[in-house]
Amino acid sequence: MNKQIPSLNTFRVLAVVSVYGVCASAGAQTLNVGMTAPPITVSKWIKGSPSPQLKQGKVYVVEFWATWCAPCKESIPHLTELAKKYAGKAEFVGVSVWERPKHGEPYDSTLPVIEKFVSSMGDKMDYVVAADTSDRKMAKTWLDAAGQNGIPVAFIVDQKSRVAWIGYPWQGLDETLKQVVDGTWDVEAAARKQNPELDKQRAAAEASRIAQEKEQAEVEAWQKTPMGKKFAQVSQLRKDKRYAEALKVADEIAQMTPDNSVPDPAESATTIKMDIYERMGDMDGYYESANKLFAIWDVMAKKMTSSGMGLRRANGGASELYMLSFAMNNGLSWPIADPKSKLPRRDFDFAIKVAKRTVELTQNKEPNWMDTLAWAYWGKGDKEKAIETEKRAVEIAGPTGDPQYKAALKKFMGE
């Protein structure tokens, strides 16, 4: 899991700054069910035998993902199971798209990140994997053309090299793939059913592109404001390891007037200070900031839940409430609960408190957060609760879930 998570407000700013490559391209071509699938054009084949051509007579599943995408990671083991099940009948190709290079660096600079991710997945990602080109050829000709502005998303290509189906891996892929392989899938009927919805998605993607361009322009203008300049200053000071000065700038940020990009300067400043204290090895400062940040996020969570916000948006994407639980887990509890944690002092009581809250926010439906809680119990020495909680994580994940949950359970049970 990613150890450092920016504040939600800072995250919103960074998301807009990094928007290039995430939104649909203007004037993108159209790709509907029933049409000939575009060629596979990638910058590098990361794993498995290259599949540069979609051959007639073969079935393909082309799935799009990214290293930063939590739902993508969750879907990978299941794709591996399907790849094994249909070995010799269907070829699976996972294409990394919409990666996030560091500011000012070229898109291809993300290749080492992709390679490291794929290597870390090991046999759980056991199919052909590739990375998109520097000009995002695959994202443009497949995702943008089909009006898809979220990942993971999969395309099934039939024996006639036609797009037979487009959708999320957990919503119809298994059933459709079986019919496509058996030759019983009615592509024309599928086109009549799915293409009108794809037209709506393309229209929505174009509207999103226009909105994101506007937001990006606003962020660029914001970077020239006093708040934007302070963020740039503290970032440079951290990079230069001038931590005492960085802490002072963070305190200045906390006292600044909120703006549209940073509506809660105190939250952003607390996140920054927590990171700085960790770099300094000052655990008192670290946990003081962590507790303050949790209190801030908990207030936000209560407001979201009281308004009736769910975990998913109407389009299936993660809601702000889900992202808040993600930030709590990955930014606060997991750095402590992680058995490989390098924190010089690990406050398991704090990790348990935060993990229990993330489990509550996700209504006991998120195995990752449940797994974090189990490890927090284990770190505190409560073997019984660790086993009980990890069993729940395994149960929620189901038979196609991350095998690390089962491995953790075996460890806790001494097997």
Q: Is residue 62 within a helix (H) or strand (E), and if so which, with residue range? A: strand 59-65
Q: What is d(CA 132, CA 96) in angstroms, rounded to the nearest whole number?
A: 6
Check: CB of residue 5 under 8 Å from CB of residue 327: yes
Copy the structure tokens of residue 340: 């490989």
Q: Is 23 a catalytic residue?
A: no
Catalytic residue (one of 33, 54, 72, 328): 72
Give the amino acid at 126.
D
Check: CB of residue 348 under 8 Å from CB of residue 376: yes
Q: Is 72 a catalytic residue?
A: yes
CA torsion, ordered 192, 175, 24, 135, to nearest 10 deg: -120
Q: What is d(CA 228, CA 222) in angstroms, rounded to the nearest whole number?
A: 6
Catalytic residue (one of 31, 42, 61, 69): 69
Q: What is d(CA 312, CA 121) in angstroms, rounded to the nearest whole number?
A: 26
Q: What is d(CA 124, CA 116) in angstroms, rounded to the nearest whole number?
A: 14
Q: Is 262 exposed, middle or buried (0-12, 13-18, 19+ CB in 10 A)?
A: buried
Hey, which residues are catalytic here? Answer: 69, 72
